[in-house]
Amino acid sequence: MGGLSEENIKGVVLALLSSAFIGGSFIIKKKGLKRAAACSGVRAGVGGYAYLLEPLWWIGMITMIAGEAANFVAYAFAPAVLVTPLGALSIIVSATLAHFILKEKLPRLGVLGCVMCIAGSVIIVVHAPRERAIDSVQEIWGMATQPAFLLYVGSVLVLVFILVFHFSPQCGHTNVLVFTGICSLMGSLSVMSVKALGTSLKLTFEGNNQLIYPETWFFLLVVATCVVMQMNYLNKALDTFNTAVVSPIYYVMFTTLTILASVIMFKDWDGQSADNIISEICGFIAVLSGTILLHSTKDFERSSSFGSSYAPVSPTLSTRLCNGNGEFRRDEEDPEPPEDMCMTKQ
Amino acid sequence: MGGLSEENIKGVVLALLSSAFIGGSFIIKKKGLKRAAACSGVRAGVGGYAYLLEPLWWIGMITMIAGEAANFVAYAFAPAVLVTPLGALSIIVSATLAHFILKEKLPRLGVLGCVMCIAGSVIIVVHAPRERAIDSVQEIWGMATQPAFLLYVGSVLVLVFILVFHFSPQCGHTNVLVFTGICSLMGSLSVMSVKALGTSLKLTFEGNNQLIYPETWFFLLVVATCVVMQMNYLNKALDTFNTAVVSPIYYVMFTTLTILASVIMFKDWDGQSADNIISEICGFIAVLSGTILLHSTKDFERSSSFGSSYAPVSPTLSTRLCNGNGEFRRDEEDPEPPEDMCMTKQ
C-alpha cells in the first residue's frame, strides 16, 4: 500500500493549489479580456492590446504564474505519476468557476466528466507510490543515465526527429497527431528534467548546495530546450487545429508519456503491489475519460470562452504562458456582443 | 488490502459469466424478434406473438435464465458490494455485441462509457472485501435482525409505503423517481434476501442442510415478495417513461441502496482500510458515471434496438424476465423496415 507520506501530502497540496490557481487564472483573465474589449472596442483576437492596460488581466497572469510555480515545486516533493494527472483538476476549476462566475452553462455530461476526473484523482492519490528520498543531483543523474531511461530518451528523440523532419512538412497541417505528438514527447522529457531541477533546488534550499555540480546546470539546459520546443509546437498545433481537438489529445498523450517516463526513470512502481499499480492505472483511465468527456461536450466547446485556455494542461511555466493572450482567438466567432463591464469605470 | 480470496474469485467469475449471458441474450432475442417480425409481418410491439415460434428467441430466453442463475449463485460466494456493480458489464456486452453483430453503431462517447465501466469494475474487484465465512442460516438471521439493519429495513418500508400510497397516485406518472424509487428500495431488500437464500442453499449442497430451519423458508418468502413488488413497479416505470430515462436512474439508485444495505447487514467494510473503502467508492462512482454516459449517448438511445432490454440491470430472475418480450416496445417508431432474415427458411 502506497499511502501518503508527508512529502507526498506536500506534493498533493501543491498540485491542488496549482490547479486552483491555474483554473482560476483563466476566469480572471477572461474577465479582464472582456472588460478590455468592451472598453476599447477592439478584441485581442483581432489585434487589440487593450488588455495590457487592464489590471484584471495582470492579476490573472500573476495567478497563473503562481500556479505554475506551485506545480514546479510539487514535482520536487511527489512522484510525477501523482502530480501530472492532477493537472486535469485545473480544467474542473475553470469549468466550475465559469459556470458560477461567468454564468456559462456547464452541460450535464460536463458535470459527469468532472465527477470522473475527481474520482480518478482520488484513486491516484490514494495509491500513489511514496517519493524516494534523494540526497544529491548525482543520484538523479544516475537514474537519468540508466540504460532503460537512455533507451526511452533515445526513442523519444528519434521519434521527434522523424515527426519534425518527415511528417511535419508532409501532413503536419492535416493530421493533428503530428504537432501534438512532438509536444507530448518533448513534454515527458520536460517533466523529468523539471523534476530533476526542482529536486536539486529543494536540496540546495535545505542547505545541501547542488549548484556546484554541473549536472544541475545540465538539467536546467534540458528544461529550457525541451520547454522551448514544446511551446513552439504547442502553438503550431493550436494555430492549426481547434483547441477542442488539440487539448484532449495532448492531455492524454502527454500525461501517458510522462507517467511512462517517470516509471522508467524514477522506478515509481518498484516495490508497489500489483493491486496498487492496477488501481493507479484505472484511476488514470478515469481521469483521462473524464477529461475527454469534458472536452467533447459540445455546448461547452461552443461557448468558446475557454478558447485556448484549455490547452495548457502542461507541466511548465512557459508552455502555459505562451497561450496567455491567445485567449480570445476563437471569440471572433462568438456572437455575444461585448458587455459593458467597464461602465463603472467611465 | 482486500485481495481476492478463492470464494471472491468464484463470485467474480460467476458475475462476469452472468453479465456475458445476459448481455448476449438481448442480442439473441433481438435477432429472434427481428426474424419473427420479418416472417409474420406482425411485430411484438403491436401484439404479435410470432416470436414464440422462433427458436432464436427461446435460445435468448434460456441464455438469460442461465445468466440470472449465475448471478444468483454469485451472491452466495461474494459480497454484494462486489457482485452488484458488476451487473453494469452486461450493458457493455450488449453494446459491443450490438456493434459487431447487429451492426448498430456505438458512438464514441458510448465507447468512453464502456471504458469507464471497465476501469471502475476493475477497481471494485481489486479492493472488494473478502466474503465472511458463514456456517448456518441462523448466523445470517442474526445479521438480518441486528438493530442497524432493522432500522434500514424499517426506513425502506416506511419510504416505500409513503411512495406507494401518497406519491404514486399523485405524481407517479409525472415524476420518474416515484416508481423507480420503489423498485430500487425493494431491490436492495431483494438482493439481501437472495444472498441469504443463496448462502443457505450453498450450505445445503455442501451437506449442511439448512432447509430444516424456518429462517431459510422465511428468506424464500421475502425474496418472492420483494421480487414481485420490484417487478410490478419496474414494469409501471417502463410503461410510463422512456427506458433511456428509467434505466440509468434505476441502476444508480438500486446499486447504491444495495451497497448500503450490504454494508449495514454484512458489515462488508469492517476491518477494511480507509484506502480500500475510498477506492471502492471511487470505483463505484466510475461505474455509475460510465453507465450514465452509455445511456445518455443519444444516437445509441435512438437506435432503439435495446428498447426495454436496458432496464434489467436488476438482481433477480423474474425482474428481468418480465421485460423479456417487451423488447420491441419502442420499435414501432423504428423507421427501419423488417429485414428478410427468414429468407433462408422460406
Predicted confidence (pLDDT) at residue A344 exceeds the cutoff of 80: no
Residue A37 lies in a domain: yes
- Answer yes or no: do B123 and A289 touch at CB < 8 A: no
* Residue numbers of the domain that contains B148: 6-345
- Answer yes or no: do A123 and B285 touch at CB < 8 A: no
> Which residue out of A1, A4, A112, A122 would a mutagenesis test of the B interface target, given it has the greatest number of B Cβ atoms within 10 Å?
A112
Between CA B322 and CA B161 the distance in angstroms is 23
Between CA A253 and CA A314 the distance in angstroms is 11
pLDDT tens digits for range A37-63 = 777 766 665 656 777 778 888 898 899
Closest-CA distance of chain B to residue A5, Å: 14
Residues 6+ apart with CB under 8 A from A133: none
> Which residue out of B111, B285, B296 would a mutagenesis test of the A interface target, given it has the greatest number of A Cβ atoms within 10 Å?
B285
Residue A315 lies in a domain: yes
B116 closest CB neighbour out of A109, A116, A122: A116
Closest-CA distance of chain B to residue A107, Å: 12
Is the pLDDT higher at A121 or at A245?
A121
Which residues on chain A are in Cβ contact (under 8 Å) with B293? 109, 112, 293
- Answer yes or no: do B126 and A279 touch at CB < 8 A: yes
pLDDT tens digits for range A264-316 = 998 888 888 888 899 999 999 999 999 888 877 754 443 333 333 333 333 43
- Answer yes or no: do B289 and A1 touch at CB < 8 A: no
Closest-CA distance of chain A to residue B227, Å: 31
Tallying the residues shown for chain A, one arrives at: 346
pLDDT over 90 percentage in chain A: 38
Which residues on chain A are in Cβ contact (under 8 Å) with B1? 1, 273, 275
pLDDT value at position B44?
Answer: 61
Predicted confidence (pLDDT) at residue A71 exceeds the cutoff of 50: yes
pLDDT value at position B295?
Answer: 79
Residue A193 lies in a domain: yes
B119 closest CB neighbour out of A109, A115, A282: A282
- Answer yes or no: do A285 and B126 touch at CB < 8 A: no
Backbone angles phi, psi at B155, to 5 degrees: -60, -45
Which residues on chain A are in Cβ contact (under 8 Å) with B279? 123, 126-127, 279
B275 closest CB neighbour out of A1, A108, A293: A1
> Which residue out of B289, B300, B301 would a mutagenesis test of the A interface target, given it has the greatest number of A Cβ atoms within 10 Å?
B289
Which residues on chain B are in Cβ contact (under 8 Å) with A1? 1, 273, 275
Burial zone of A224 (CB within 10 Å; 0-12 exposed, 13-18 middle, 19+ buried): middle
> Which residue out of A108, A118, A126, A294 would a mutagenesis test of the B interface target, given it has the greatest number of B Cβ atoms within 10 Å?
A126
pTM here? 0.78
pLDDT value at position A42?
Answer: 65
pLDDT tens for the 346 residues of chain B, in order? 445 788 889 999 999 999 999 989 888 888 888 888 777 766 665 656 777 778 888 898 899 889 989 999 999 899 988 898 998 888 888 888 888 888 878 888 888 989 999 999 999 988 888 888 888 899 999 999 999 999 999 999 999 999 999 999 988 888 889 999 999 999 999 999 999 999 999 999 998 898 999 999 999 999 999 988 988 888 888 888 877 778 888 888 999 999 999 999 988 888 888 888 999 999 999 999 998 888 777 544 433 333 333 333 344 333 333 333 333 333 333 333 333 333 333 3
* Domains of chain A: total: 1
Residue B53 lies in a domain: yes
- Answer yes or no: do A282 and B278 touch at CB < 8 A: no
Residue A74 lies in a domain: yes
Give the three cell numbers for residue A152.
Answer: 526511452
**Per CB distance under 8 Å, which residues of B are interface residues toward A?**
1, 3, 108-109, 112, 115-116, 119-120, 122-123, 126-127, 273, 275, 278-279, 282-283, 285-286, 289-290, 292-293, 296
Residues A125 and A118 sit within 8 Å (Cβ to Cβ): no
For the CA atoms of B278, B281, B285, B287, the dihedral, rounded to the nearest 10 degrees, stands at: 120
Residue A1 lies in a domain: no
DSSP A49: -
Residues A315 and A87 sit within 8 Å (Cβ to Cβ): yes
Predicted confidence (pLDDT) at residue A135 exceeds the cutoff of 60: yes
B112 closest CB neighbour out of A275, A279, A293: A293
Residue of A nearest to B128 (CA): A275
Residue B1 lies in a domain: no
Which residues on chain B are in Cβ contact (under 8 Å) with A122? 278, 282
Residues 6+ apart with CB under 8 A from B180: B233, B234, B237, B246, B249, B250, B253
Which residues on chain A are in Cβ contact (under 8 Å) with B114? none
At A27, the pLDDT band (50, 70, 90 cuts) reads confident
pLDDT value at position B327?
Answer: 37
Give the ranges where A128-273 is alpha helix by DSSP (H).
137-144, 147-162, 168-171, 176-205, 214-240, 243-265
Residue A12 lies in a domain: yes
pLDDT tens digits for range A234-251 = 888 888 887 777 888 888
Find, among A266, A261, A192, A181, the residue nearest to A229 by Cα.
A181
Give the three cell numbers for residue A135.
Answer: 540526497
Closest-CA distance of chain A to residue B56, Å: 37
pLDDT value at position A326?
Answer: 36
pLDDT value at position B157?
Answer: 96
Find, among A124, A111, A102, A25, the residue nearest to A294 by Cα.
A111
- Answer yes or no: do B119 and A285 touch at CB < 8 A: yes
Between CA B301 and CA A234 the distance in angstroms is 37
DSSP A133: P
pLDDT tens digits for range A164-206 = 999 999 888 888 899 999 999 999 999 999 999 999 999 999 9
